[in-house]
């Protein structure tokens, strides 16, 4: 997202606390590509500690910051999820209520839906998360709505469905699968491998965000963003084998608590309002992520 904005000449302030959820070097590598732009600046700070002065000249907030990961959101870890997902969002919204913002985009998640019986899921379906992570993302989404309703903060919430591509977090499935294939390790699969996801390529997500920045008449609304690729985990691995030139060795484990069996987005609303239409098929997106992963491994990351 930052790359796309900087390429078109926008001024971008990046904010990150660098929590230890995964290797900081990977995050620094992501940031390094932005340093070539003279209109990029960076502040290492917890979003909860931001002040009005820090953001006084900001016209748009794209709120991607969160403590991610469904499986690690249980038990004692939940405190960091409430701090980084709920409290941080409330802090940003409180500051935003005093700014003449043009737009506040909140990155929500398909995790808010939980275990659905009817697919594809529409935005009108009652959210019912089945993980603590999903609960915090939904709570933050509700905060966005109430600041829109009471303070007219120009909020738009985008519910992402399993985003993948270069830069993907190391704990996510595609990253783990590709790394295992390239290094000859076993691929760990939680469940029987027949569970499905609606995989969305990162550039399609970026395109939707850019559209949400400039489209009128959408504040206060929620949009699903899916890739149109409802595919089983086993099918993904079959696609990865010829791309990597490696044969997968699979190891199956019990399903993880909080993981829904299937996801699929109805993106009709995003199509109508944001002219959203995914442009990347799964094989092309996976090929690009494999190239990225090969570069990471060359750096011993």
Asked if residues 138 and 112 have their Cβ atoms less than 8 Å apart, the reply is yes
Q: Over the stretch 151-189, which tens digit does the pLDDT of each residue have? A: 999 999 999 999 999 999 999 999 999 999 999 999 999
Residue-averaged pLDDT of the chain: 97
Q: Judge whether 133 counts as a catalytic residue.
A: yes
Q: Over the stretch 92-143, which tens digit does the pLDDT of each residue have? A: 999 999 999 999 999 999 999 999 999 999 999 999 999 999 999 999 999 9
Q: Catalytic pick from 106, 113, 133, 276? A: 133
Is the per-residue pLDDT at 88 higher than 90? yes
Query: Per-residue pLDDT averaged across 52-66, rounded?
Result: 97
What pLDDT shows up at residue 66?
96
- Please report the domains of the chain, with CATH numbers, ordered by start residue: 2-298 (3.40.50.720)
Cα distances (Å, whole numbers) of residue 265 to 190, 198, 199, 225, 275: 22, 7, 10, 7, 15
Measure the CA–CA gap between 118 and 103, rounded to whole angstroms.
32
Residue 83 burial by Cβ neighbours in a 10 Å radius (0-12, 13-18, 19+): middle
What pLDDT shows up at residue 93?
98
Confidence of residue 195 (pLDDT cuts 50, 70, 90): very high
Cα distances (Å, whole numbers) of residue 115 to 85, 195, 196, 247: 21, 12, 12, 32
Residues forming a β-bridge with 107: 158
Cα distances (Å, whole numbers) of residue 206 to 83, 155, 201: 26, 17, 9
Confidence of residue 229 (pLDDT cuts 50, 70, 90): confident
Question: Which of 227, 211, 212 shows the shortest CA–CA distance to 264?
Answer: 227
Confidence of residue 31 (pLDDT cuts 50, 70, 90): very high
């Amino acid at each position: 997202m930052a790359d796309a904005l900087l390429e078109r000449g926008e001024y971008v302030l990046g904010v990150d606390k660098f929590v230890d959820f995964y290797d900081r070097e990977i995050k620094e590598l992501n940031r390094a590509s932005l340093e070539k732009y003279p209109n990029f600046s960076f502040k290492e700070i917890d979003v909860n500690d931001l002040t009005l002065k820090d953001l006084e000249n900001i016209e748009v907030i794209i709120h991607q910051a969160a403590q991610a990961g469904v499986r690690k959101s249980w038990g004692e870890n939940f405190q960091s999820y409430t701090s980084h997902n709920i409290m941080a969002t409330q802090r940003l919204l409180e500051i935003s209520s005093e700014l003449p913002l043009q737009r506040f985009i909140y990155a929500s998640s398909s995790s808010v839906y939980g275990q659905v019986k009817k697919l594809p899921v529409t935005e009108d379906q009652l959210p019912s998360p089945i993980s603590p992570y999903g609960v915090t993302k939904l709570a933050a989404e509700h905060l966005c709505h109430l600041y829109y309703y009471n303070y007219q903060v120009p909020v738009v919430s985008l519910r992402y469905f399993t985003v993948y591509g270069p830069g993907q977090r190391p704990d996510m499935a595609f990253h783990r699968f590709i790394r295992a294939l390239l290094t000859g390790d076993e691929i760990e699969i939680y469940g029987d491998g027949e569970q499905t996801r609606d995989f969305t390529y990162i550039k399609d997500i970026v395109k939707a965000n850019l559209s949400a920045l400039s489209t009128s008449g959408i504040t206060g609304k929620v949009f699903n963003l899916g890739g149109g690729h409802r595919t089983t985990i086993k099918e993904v691995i079959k696609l990865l084998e010829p791309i990597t030139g490696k044969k997968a060795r699979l190891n199956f484990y019990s399903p993880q608590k909080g993981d829904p069996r299937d996801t699929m987005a109805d993106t009709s609303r995003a199509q109508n309002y944001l002219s959203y239409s995914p442009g990347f098929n799964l094989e092309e997106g996976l090929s690009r992520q494999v190239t990225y992963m090969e570069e990471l491994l060359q750096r011993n990351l």
